[in-house]
Amino acid sequence: MAEIGILGNGVAANLAAAYFRKTFPDLGVAVIGRNPPRRPIVGESLVEVSTLFIRELGLGPLLIERHHPKYGLTYYYKQKLEDPSDRRYVVDEAPALPPFPSFEVNRFTFDRDLRACNAAAGVTQLEDRIVDVEIVKGAHRVLSEAVDGSKRETVCRWLVDATGRSRVLGRRLGLHIRPALQKDVFWFWLVDFDPALLSRIDAVKKENRSFDSYYCTHHFFGRGSWIWCIPIVAEDRRPMISIGITYRKDLHPREIRSLADFLEQVGAEHPVVTDLVRSGSVRETNFYGSYMYEATRRYSPDGWFLLGDAADTVDPLYSLGLALTSLQVRQIGAAIAEERRGAPTADFVADLDTAFENAHHLATHEITDLYRVMHDPWRCHMRMHLAILAMFHLAVPLSMSGYMWDPAGVKIFNGLMRREALAAELGRLAALVDAAAPARPGYLKVQSVFSLNHRFFEHVRETDIPRSLAALCLYLAALRLSLLRRLGPRGLVAFRHQGAALRDLARAAALRALFQGARLKESRIARRVLAEPPKARRAAARRGVLDRPAFRPSPEAS
């Protein structure tokens, strides 16, 4: 019997195994899953949250020794998208060296090193094909087939499904839905290329004295689509770059399934990218059609959990995949710890599920909507500025302070991150951006020291969260007023937006007056005012967000 059984043998499974081994040294951890030599994995780009998690596992030196540093994300907003001969881009880079290190990892190298570390730490590794799973609270059973064809059964108290897009447990329990707005993605790796070609553009940008502009994740925007270029180190130590395009199927003119499609269609918008591709040799192409799905539930008090791609797909625009996976691993660890303490877990597990769903859906749905304006550089950069402000002032400070997995903190997280309310707020701001767009105001710095909240990340103190939230509200009020000014006389009668600016000012004042310097999860007033109200929880339960029946067939399963 292994106390914790993990299905799958990819990055999510092995990060979880490393974390559980370190957090619960008295529990046996088994990873059960195939490790095929070639898999369709991407690059890929880490962010601060995923990097910190990996460093906490003791793998920081591996990142430094084997992978490229990543100096943030760089966005290229093309001014005349329809004109291939025009190479003028507004380029937005990180404003300075980011406060935490991050990396561009070669997943083949990283996953291999991670497995070796897990083996040395005593994780049981069964490179089997999973044949069947039976959910029995306290003694889940996994039937698997070893490479030599022999069958074996593993019994475990907690079961984590990290089987990626195969979604072994989720499919069995009918836990997935397919959003109506679907995306395709096509990508490949390139070697022996000329990296200098990426800078052959007419760039409008702040002078960069902090870092080499090549060591970033490069993002180009097109009609209903965006392209990534992620510099990585090949397993033979040669420079390599992961290049791909993801597009919303209802907005992008045609499918891209092959290199020829890519060169033709991307070449019409971004010849700088296709020049780069033509300068090198392409290694292996990959395509996922209609790749988006979401779980209706990820965690159960019966001791099973869906993790990583086995739960939800992520649109990779902000490199959130492994960051969200690392947050999930901490959440699952917290649920296991609570159960081991003998506390009732149903309510806590439902809160954890809601917290993840709020964070994931808010980010994913906001990105899905962004595709509508990706061809319009000004609107696209404004919408991204707003999303980045929300991420770095709200979601990241709360999650880095443990509010996504602390029993009291998670209620505040769910109160502040209520996705219907935040989506409505972002929707109002997007409408204001749309209204101001014809006046063609100047460009803002999408990633500024303020929008990336460097002030908070200098210390990462829970007690600075109220100040960080108040600063966001004040900034949004000022931004709304400056956009309203662009509307001319129409701005004077835009009462809805004026009301929103006043609400932001009132929120900033209240946060300062009531919570300045407080630990929100320990403050009785904060728990009363900011935590998800019981009414909202009851409404969520009615909608089926909480306490969902485990075996309800989903539209996809049926």
Contacts with ligand FAD by CB under 6 A lie at 8-13, 33-36, 41-46, 50, 129-130, 162-166, 168, 185, 187, 244, 308-310, 314, 316, 319, 321-322, 325
Instruction: Report in angstroms the alpha-carbon separations of 379 from 90, 223, 252.
Output: 13, 13, 18
Measured CA to CA, the distance from residue 18 to residue 29 in angstroms comes to: 9
- Residue 35: CA atoms inside 13 Å, Cβ hemisphere, count? 18
Nearest distance, CB of residue 9 and ligand FAD, angstroms: 4
- 3-state DSSP assignment of residue 400: helix
- 3-state DSSP assignment of residue 99: coil
CB 362 within 8 A of CB 425: no
Closer residue to ligand FAD in complex, CB, 42/96: 42
Closer residue to ligand FAD in complex, CB, 45/225: 45
Closer residue to ligand FAD in complex, CB, 129/496: 129
Burial class (CB in 10 A: 0-12, 13-18, 19+), 523: middle
CA angle centred on 111, ends 124 and 156, rounded to 5°: 30
Helix (H) or strand (E) holding 177: strand 176-177
Closer residue to ligand FAD in complex, CB, 382/400: 400
Residue 145's beta-bridge partner residues? Answer: 129, 151
Nearest distance, CB of residue 516 and ligand FAD, angstroms: 35
Closer residue to ligand FAD in complex, CB, 72/466: 72
| DSSP symbols for 71-112 | --EEEEEES-TT-TT--EEEEE--SSS-SS--EE--HHHHHH
Closer residue to ligand FAD in complex, CB, 11/350: 11
Measured CA to CA, the distance from residue 457 to residue 478 in angstroms comes to: 23
Paired sense of beta strands 88-92 and 73-78, if any = antiparallel
Measured CA to CA, the distance from residue 166 to residue 180 in angstroms comes to: 20
Helix (H) or strand (E) holding 431: helix 419-436
Q: Which two tokens stand for residue 433?
A: 């951006």
Closer residue to ligand FAD in complex, CB, 106/265: 106
Nearest distance, CB of residue 185 and ligand FAD, angstroms: 4
Paired sense of beta strands 129-134 and 140-145, if any = antiparallel
330 C-beta neighbours (distance < 10 Å), count: 20
Nearest distance, CB of residue 129 and ligand FAD, angstroms: 4
Nearest distance, CB of residue 510 and ligand FAD, angstroms: 36
Closer residue to ligand FAD in complex, CB, 166/279: 166
Nearest distance, CB of residue 34 and ligand FAD, angstroms: 4
403 C-beta neighbours (distance < 10 Å), count: 24
Nearest distance, CB of residue 163 and ligand FAD, angstroms: 4
Closer residue to ligand FAD in complex, CB, 152/165: 165
Nearest distance, CB of residue 111 and ligand FAD, angstroms: 8
Look up residue 399 and give its DSSP letter.
H
Nearest distance, CB of residue 247 and ligand FAD, angstroms: 11
